[in-house]
Structure 1
Amino acid sequence: MTQIVESEERFPLITSEALDELRSRIGEPFERPAPHVTEATADSIRHWALGIGDENPLWLDPQYARSSRWGEIIAPGTFLYAFDRVVSGYVSGMPGIHAMFAGTDWKWHRPIRLGDRIEAQPVLKDLLELKSNFSGRSVKQTYHVSFVNQDGDLVSEADSWCIRTQRDVARERATRESVKPRVWSADEIAEIDSHYENYERRGGTPRYWEDVREGEALPMMLKGPSTVTSFVCFTQGWGSLYVKAHGPAFEMFRKHPALGIPNDLGVPEPPERVHWDNELARAVGVPAAYDYGPERISWLGHLMTDWIGDDGFLNRLNVQVRRHNIIGDLTACNGAVARKWVEDGNHYVEVRLLAENQRGEHTAIGNAVATLPSKG
């Protein structure tokens, strides 16, 4: 019986030995893939912004940006996902154990300006063993990443974490097997289109701290319905984790054999193809191809920067990714002001954030802190 079970398992299991080996790496430097972006150019900023559906001219239009308080194009803070694979979900250790991106706690100290050359400095911060109804034994793997510009200034720092899950166990215990991708009617698509057409950002009109009320709701922002095309659009700006082709792909698989999962044609492809391959997604316990976690966090960042306006500054964005956003899902991004206060002459607001799909499931939750201009 044991031999039969072992032969049926496609993927490795989490072992105490593997966990102990990975714990020995905490605080140590490690080899990681090259970043997708190293400099904030007009092109790289545009690709990122449009990849998350953010058309704010502050990121895209030099003439408009020159008239703002910043005096030039700046980038949305979540653009830093493109500067480092680790903050985006790349994990080392325990080969063959699936990694599901689960959240980031961003803190920004200064804006990302056109021409900034930014280096990421990641380190493994913590490992926490969990018991999961989804996949049995699982591990929360957290990295701390600092982002430093060409002048040595700390631009941002982030704690980012993944949940490492046992793929075969997840498939057997998947709790969402009955969920099917949503099919939308023409009338429903027209209604979604109307929302996009009539949506308005705050833009250059200041949102003064004095005018904000605790409990105030932010205007809803829609994202989706999600498609493989929208995932590809995001990947063009972000760069992905393991998407490589031809010789570079085979070199990656030689160095990291567990990354090469044969497809139906016997050709190795990375586990990242769960984002466009329904079969592999189901093999790890998800009913269909699903989005990238950093994408959804960036949507909530987009909600915040549109609400605070071009004169505000997003200081913090702490979001947990709670559920998969599968193809066909429509996400409503919402927020409500939790509190406001003044500290060291700065006027802050804290906002509770929620991403919810058409089934009423909360797919991401979090909070944000922003600085607003004051009438005083």
Structure 2
Amino acid sequence: MPEAVIDDAMMESMRAKIGVDLRIAHSVNNEEATRIAVAKFAGGIGDINELWTDAERGRASDYRGPVAPPSFVIGCFSGIQFGWPGLGSFHSSTDMDLLAPIYWGDTITAACRYDGFTGPRPSKFAGRMVTDHFTNTYRNQHGETVAEIRWQVVNYERATARSTKGNRKPLTIPHPWTPEEIERVEAQVLAEKPRGAEPRYYEDVQVGDALSSLTKGPIGLTDEVAFIAGGGTPIPRLKAHASSLVDYAAHPAWSFRDPVTGAQEPIYAVHYNQAAANAMGVAYQYDVGFQRQCWQIQLMTHWVGDAGWVKHLESQYRGFVYLSDVVELGGEVIGKEVSQDGEHLVHVTTFARNQRGDDVMPGKATVALPSRESTLTPVARRARDTS
């Protein structure tokens, strides 16, 4: 892969781009929430909630029609490979607002603005780093904003990252699971169910309550492929043969030459190609930041039930989730309030712990729950007439 160091000329070039609405057509994966597109996306993040895939279930709910998971916007457009030629990059954090439901048949138009960068700053991982800031907005065919995502990307010097590998905590990768351990993990995964149609009332939730768990893993190659096939990043969209070579000739920074097969591969292949991960200074293939974000959203939609609404989420991506890892997500209620517009809100902290005990995605969320004092549920407030 091309390699560079952060210098004044590079930073000046990036400063000139601050505030620009980026060209993202090559990285848009879904535009219409068709039944199949929604099913592929839900399957690609491992979400078994039938609310997203059963039209009758959607019509019987307060949505009054078939709907997509709120994370579906990430399958329309998540991120873009932008600027800093020759540097490696990692998605490091996300702050998002979910504003309106996405119904089957909706057309989603995404936009991405570059808000600038902070740094450079010193890093134990890779010498110096700069952090990019972006804002994604998603609007439906009625001009309504259904979601806004503010996200950050850390950019670093690849060569320095590889040279500091010896200073990092040694890990056994892939993780050496026993058959009995895998059996226990998969039994836990199968036991975890969405709350569904049974309301979780605001009055029944207390500060200190634990969220029900959501487990992912052991994470395999097909889990990554399924996320891509469902519309999760690639940056840009994956292509093959002449289609990809034309793109790589025009944008050399998008690809690298696989030393084993001789093929040109997208930089994005770090998530399923070991040579690509190694070139990034990482020991093994690893998950996608926005994929992890979808897991946090799923954790919350499972917990609030069909009538609850996930309003806001924050998350930081700490460390890598390698293929073979198991991640258990959970959280705790830390506060309750009734908003000025009468919504019954619950605030929670969330975590995502791997089998080594590391919290690889600390976060927060705010949800609106139905109340016994109100005849209108949070979903009913936001539902659209789809008749």
TM interval, shorter chain, is over 0.9
Shift in Å, 1:99: 1.6
**1:50-65 alignment runs, 5 A limit:** 50-65=43-58
CA distance in 2, matches of 1:76, 1:109: 13
Normalising to structure 2: TM-score of the pair?
Answer: 0.91
**1:176-187 alignment runs, 5 A limit:** 176=168, 178-180=170-172, 181-187=174-180
CA distance in 2, matches of 1:41, 1:325: 31
**1:342-361 alignment runs, 5 A limit:** 342-343=338-339, 344-361=341-358
**Aligned match of 1:191:** 184
Specify the SS of the correspondent of 2:362.
strand
Of 241-250 and 348-357, the range deviating more from structure 2: 241-250
**Aligned match of 1:241:** 235
**Aligned match of 2:362:** 365
CA distance in 1, matches of 2:337, 2:356: 35
**Aligned match of 1:143:** 134
Corresponding letter in the other structure for 2:322: I
Aligned CA distance change for structure 1 residues 359 and 109 (closer, same or farther; 3 Å): same
CA distance in 1, matches of 2:313, 2:86: 31
| Gap regions ≥5 residues in structure 2 | 374-387
CA RMSD, 1 decimal: 1.5
Shift in Å, 1:34: 4.1
Aligned CA distance change for structure 1 residues 10 and 64 (closer, same or farther; 3 Å): closer
C-alpha contact (below 8 Å) 1:177/1:286 kept by paired residues:
no
CA distance in 1, matches of 2:22, 2:2: 28
Of 172-181 and 110-119, the range deviating more from structure 2: 172-181
Q: Deviations over 1:127-148 (max 9, x none)?
A: 0113211111111111111111
CA distance in 1, matches of 2:168, 2:70: 33
Corresponding letter in the other structure for 1:172: S
**Equivalent of 2:202, from 196, 209, 213?**
209
Shift in Å, 1:205: 0.2
Shift in Å, 1:10: 5.5
Corresponding letter in the other structure for 1:358: Q
Shift in Å, 1:89: 3.4
C-alpha contact (below 8 Å) 2:40/2:229 kept by paired residues:
yes
2:87 aligned with 1:91, yes or no?
no
2:140 aligned with 1:159, yes or no?
no
**Equivalent of 1:118, from 96, 105, 108?**
108
2:23 aligned with 1:26, yes or no?
no
CA distance in 2, matches of 1:332, 1:185: 18
Shift in Å, 1:292: 0.7
2:257 aligned with 1:276, yes or no?
no
Shift in Å, 1:177: 6.3
Aligned CA distance change for structure 1 residues 176 and 237 (closer, same or farther; 3 Å): farther
Shift in Å, 1:283: 2.5
**Aligned match of 1:13:** 5
Specify the SS of the correspondent of 1:77.
coil
CA distance in 1, matches of 2:2, 2:364: 38
Corresponding letter in the other structure for 2:66: I
Specify the SS of the correspondent of 1:194.
helix
Corresponding letter in the other structure for 1:352: T
Specify the SS of the correspondent of 1:226.
coil
Corresponding letter in the other structure for 1:222: T
| Gap regions ≥5 residues in structure 1 | 1-8
**Equivalent of 1:262, from 248, 257, 264?**
257
C-alpha contact (below 8 Å) 1:104/1:159 kept by paired residues:
yes
**Aligned match of 1:5:** none
Corresponding letter in the other structure for 2:235: L
CA distance in 2, matches of 1:10, 1:248: 22
Corresponding letter in the other structure for 2:102: I
C-alpha contact (below 8 Å) 1:106/1:159 kept by paired residues:
yes
Specify the SS of the correspondent of 2:224.
helix
Count of residue correspondences: 365
Shift in Å, 1:77: 1.5
CA distance in 1, matches of 2:252, 2:323: 29
2:43 aligned with 1:46, yes or no?
no
CA distance in 2, matches of 1:90, 1:227: 24
2:70 aligned with 1:109, yes or no?
no
C-alpha contact (below 8 Å) 2:17/2:116 kept by paired residues:
no
Of 310-319 and 168-177, the range deviating more from structure 2: 168-177
2:72 aligned with 1:79, yes or no?
yes
C-alpha contact (below 8 Å) 2:258/2:275 kept by paired residues:
no
**Aligned match of 1:252:** 247
CA distance in 1, matches of 2:181, 2:239: 37
**1:271-310 alignment runs, 5 A limit:** 271-310=267-306
Shift in Å, 1:234: 1.0
Normalising to structure 1: TM-score of the pair?
Answer: 0.94
Q: Deviations over 1:234-286 (max 9, x none)?
A: 11112422322112211111121122211124332111111112233122221
Q: Deviations over 1:50-108 (max 9, x none)?
A: 11110111101011111111111211221111222xxx332311222112111221101
